[in-house]
């Protein structure tokens, strides 16, 4: 009487039971669903909505150096002439980082100033 050993002839490991039916059934459907989801995510990232892309125009920048009372280092004032915005930044020698000091919306400030004039 011979007994059969359910091992693979090539590597001596037990042969998986029902592996062909799993690969062609549930697992394959899961892989297809994953690929469709990843493709949709790629399309969403690659083609953003047109409204978000047009909400801000490219700027034209000017930088002016200056000082602030009580600050040990100089300040750079960066003005975006197209979007009418300004930021002030300074270099922190201790942390070796650029530190934002302030922001101004020049269009809003000008409109507020014009309303307050007689």
pLDDT at 24: 59
Least confident residue range of 62-66, 74-78, 111-115: 111-115
Question: Length of the chain, please?
Answer: 118
pLDDT at 57: 75
Q: Measure the CA–CA gap between 76 and 66, rounded to whole angstroms.
A: 6
Q: Could you report the per-residue pLDDT of 83-111, keeping only the tens digit for each?
A: 999 999 999 889 999 999 999 999 999 98
Count of Cβ atoms closer than 10 Å to residue 87 Cβ: 14
Q: Cα 90 vs. chain centroid, distance in angstroms?
A: 25
Q: Measure the CA–CA gap between 15 and 47, rounded to whole angstroms.
A: 46
pLDDT over threshold 80, residue 49: no
pLDDT at 36: 86
Per-residue confidence band for 65, with pLDDT thresholds at 50, 70 and 90: very high
What region does 84 belong to: left with phi over 0, alpha with psi -120 to 50, or beta? left
Secondary structure element (H or E) that encloses residue 37, with its range: helix 26-46
Q: What is the mean pLDDT of residues 75-90?
A: 93
Secondary structure element (H or E) that encloses residue 103, with its range: strand 97-105
């Amino acid at each position: 009487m011979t007994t059969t050993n359910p091992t693979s002839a090539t590597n001596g490991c037990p042969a998986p039971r029902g592996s062909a039916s799993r690969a062609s059934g549930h697992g394959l459907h899961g892989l297809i669903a994953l690929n469709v989801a990843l493709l949709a995510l790629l399309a969403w990232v690659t083609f953003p909505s047109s409204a978000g892309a047009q909400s801000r125009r490219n700027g034209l920048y000017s930088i002016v150096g200056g000082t602030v009372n009580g600050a040990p280092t100089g300040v750079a004032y960066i003005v975006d002439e197209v979007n009418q915005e300004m930021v002030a930044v300074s270099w922190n020698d201790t942390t070796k980082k650029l530190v934002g000091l302030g922001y101004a919306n020049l269009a809003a400030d000008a409109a507020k100033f014009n309303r307050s004039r007689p």
